[in-house]
């Protein structure tokens, strides 16, 4: 179905670009990343670099799945699992430096985003 295929493509582009951008942000400006998005606990630049080394390849994998459609199900399954675990982590720790409300909003945004990925995974899997 064309609209389902288009939805999958949009999700691959949006989440792929997001992960590449986030990974580059973490790698090139870890202090700024921590001060703006990652303000949980005490800054640990090594862990920020570790996360960047995950986000960059994840984004490239999602973008690669646009070129190689056989990658779509595995790429989306991996991304959905990552986002689901990230969502769980934000449910467990909502203590953002800007306040618990920000932590809960981040949790909600991650949960919604995980749902979008899961739908794309479903559409991609049933297309096969």
Q: Average pLDDT, stretch 11-28?
A: 97
pLDDT at 99: 65
For the chain, which residues make up each domain, given as ranges?
Answer: 2-127
Q: How far apart are CA 52 and CA 88, in angstroms?
A: 19
Q: Residues 79, 15: contact at Cβ < 8 Å?
A: yes
Q: How sure is the predictor about 126, in pLDDT bands with cuts at 50, 70 and 90?
A: very high
pLDDT at 38: 76
- Per-residue pLDDT reduced to its tens digit, 29-82: 999 999 888 777 788 899 999 999 999 999 999 999 999 999 999 999 999 999
pLDDT at 16: 98
Q: Residues 114, 80: contact at Cβ < 8 Å?
A: yes
Q: Report DSSP state, residue 97.
A: T
Q: Report DSSP state, residue 69.
A: G
Tokens of 7: 């939805």
pLDDT at 98: 65
Q: Could you tell me the end-to-end alpha-carbon distance of the chain, in angstroms, rounded to an integer?
A: 12
pLDDT at 39: 74
Q: How far apart are CA 41 and CA 34, in angstroms?
A: 10
What is the largest distance, in Å, between two alpha-carbon atoms of the chain? Answer: 48
DSSP-H helix ranges across 1-128: 2-28, 30-36, 45-67, 72-92, 100-127
Q: Average pLDDT, stretch 88-94?
A: 82
pLDDT at 36: 85
Taking all residues of the chain, what is their mean pLDDT, rounded to a whole number? 91
């Amino acid at each position: 179905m064309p609209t389902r295929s288009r939805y999958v493509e949009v999700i691959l582009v949006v989440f792929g670009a997001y992960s590449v951008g986030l990974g580059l942000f973490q790698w090139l400006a870890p202090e700024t990343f921590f001060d703006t998005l990652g303000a949980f606990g005490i800054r640990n630049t090594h862990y920020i670099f570790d996360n960047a080394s995950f986000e960059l390849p994840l984004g490239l994998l999602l973008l690669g799945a646009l070129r190689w459609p056989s990658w779509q199900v595995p790429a989306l399954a991996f991304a959905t699992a990552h986002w689901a675990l990230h969502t769980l982590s934000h449910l467990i720790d909502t203590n953002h430096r800007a306040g618990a409300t920000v932590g809960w909003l981040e949790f909600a945004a991650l949960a919604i985003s995980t749902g979008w990925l899961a739908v794309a995974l479903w559409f991609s899997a049933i297309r096969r």
